[in-house]
A and B are shown apart, each in its own frame.
Chain A
Amino acid sequence: MKKFYSLLILPLIAVFCLFGCGTDRTTTEIKAVYSQMVDTYVINSESNWYFEKPVNSTEYTKMYVTYDNEYGFNDAVLGKFESLVSDDLELRYEQLTSVYARTLIMAYNYYTNWNELFFANIDSKNPDADDLTELYDRLVDFRRQLEKFNTSKLNIEREVKLLGINSELVAAKIDAFNNAYNNLISKVLNFVNYFKDLHVKYFYSDTDVVDGSYAKRAYDEAILSLANFIYKDYLQALSKNGTVQLISIDNAISSSYNIFNDTSFLTTKISQVQTDGKVGLSKLSSTVINALNDPNNANNQRAVSAVNQFVVSLNTFNQYFNLYNKVYDKVSMESFNNYRFEINGGFDGKDATEKHENYIETLSPVDAANVNVLIDFEENKVSAFLNSIYALLDKKFN
Chain B
Amino acid sequence: MSSNTKIILRIVVTLAIVGLIVLGVWLIWFKPTNELEVFNNLTRLQSQDQDDFETSLKEAKNRTYMGKSKGGRLNYTFTGGDAPASTRPVFVQIKYYRSYMFGGFENNDEAYAPYQDVFNKTTNKNVLGRVFSLYETYNTIDDAFEYYYSYSQLIEEISNKEVKNINSLISSLKSSYNIFNDTFEKKNEKTGEPEEGIVALETKSLTDFNQITIVSEIEALYEKLYNTFFDIIKKYNNLTIAVKDLVTEKVFENNLAYDKKTVTYEMALKSITELTAQKIELTFNDNDNTCTADENYISYLYDVAMINWANLSNSNKINPKITISDAEVQAFAFINENYGEAFNGEKSVFKLTRYNKNQLANSKLDEGLTEIASQYNLTYVPQIQLILRTFYDLGNVPIDPVTSGGTSVVGG
Contacts and interface: CB of A to CB of B under 8 A. Distances in A.
B261 A316 contact: no
B260 A369 contact: no
Nearest to A365: B43
Given A369-B150, A372-B150, A381-B259, A388 B326 contact: yes
Contacts, number: 52
Contacts of B261: 376, 380
Given A316-B259, A326-B154, A372 B252 contact: no
Interface residues of A, number: 23
Contacts of A366: 39, 43, 153
A74 B150 CA distance: 45
Contacts of B259: 316, 380-381, 384
B65 interface: no
Contacts of B47: 365
A370 B146 CA distance: 12
Contacts of B150: 368-370, 372-373, 376
B255 interface: yes
A129 interface: no
B251 interface: yes
Interface in A6-21: none
Given A326-B154, A376-B147, A387 B260 contact: no
B257 A319 contact: yes
Secondary structure dominating the interface of B: helix
B154 A323 contact: yes
B256 to A, nearest CB: 8
Nearest to B40: A365
Contact of B330 (A312, A319, A381): A312
Given A309-B330, A365-B43, A365-B46, A315 B257 contact: yes
B153 A316 contact: no
B257 A327 contact: no
A174 B210 CA distance: 80
Interface string A147-182: 000000000000000000000000000000000000
A365 B40 CA distance: 9
Interface in B337-380: none
B410 interface: no
A384 B258 CA distance: 10
Given A365-B46, A365-B47, A387-B326, A316 B257 contact: yes
B37 to A, nearest CB: 13
Interface string B327-339: 0001001000000
A255 to B, nearest CB: 10
A320 interface: yes
A391 interface: yes
Contacts of A391: 326
B105 interface: no
Contacts of B149: 369
A367 to B, nearest CB: 10
Interface string A359-398: 0000001101110110010001100100110010000000
A387 to B, nearest CB: 6
Residue among B39, B152, B259 with the highest chain A CB neighbour number at 10 A? B259
B153 A369 contact: yes
Nearest to B261: A380
Given A319-B252, A320-B257, A365-B46, A372 B154 contact: no
Interface in A339-367: 365-366
A327 B154 contact: yes
A380 B326 contact: no
Contacts of B258: 316
Contact of A319 (B147, B255, B260): B255
A365 B48 CA distance: 12
B260 A380 contact: yes
A357 to B, nearest CB: 12
A318 to B, nearest CB: 9
Interface in A306-324: 309, 312, 315-316, 319-320, 323
A384 B260 contact: yes
Contacts of A381: 259
Contact of B251 (A323, A372, A380): A323
Nearest to A317: B257
Interface of B: 39, 43, 46-47, 146-147, 149-154, 251-252, 255, 257-261, 326, 330, 333
Interface of A: 309, 312, 315-316, 319-320, 323, 326-327, 365-366, 368-370, 372-373, 376, 380-381, 384, 387-388, 391
19 contacts: A312-B333, A319-B255, A323-B151, A327-B154, A365-B47, A366-B39, A366-B153, A369-B151, A370-B150, A370-B153, A372-B150, A373-B151, A373-B154, A376-B147, A376-B150, A380-B260, A381-B259, A384-B260, A391-B326
Shortest beta-carbon contacts, A-B, top 9? A316-B257, A365-B43, A372-B150, A369-B150, A369-B153, A319-B257, A384-B259, A373-B150, A380-B259
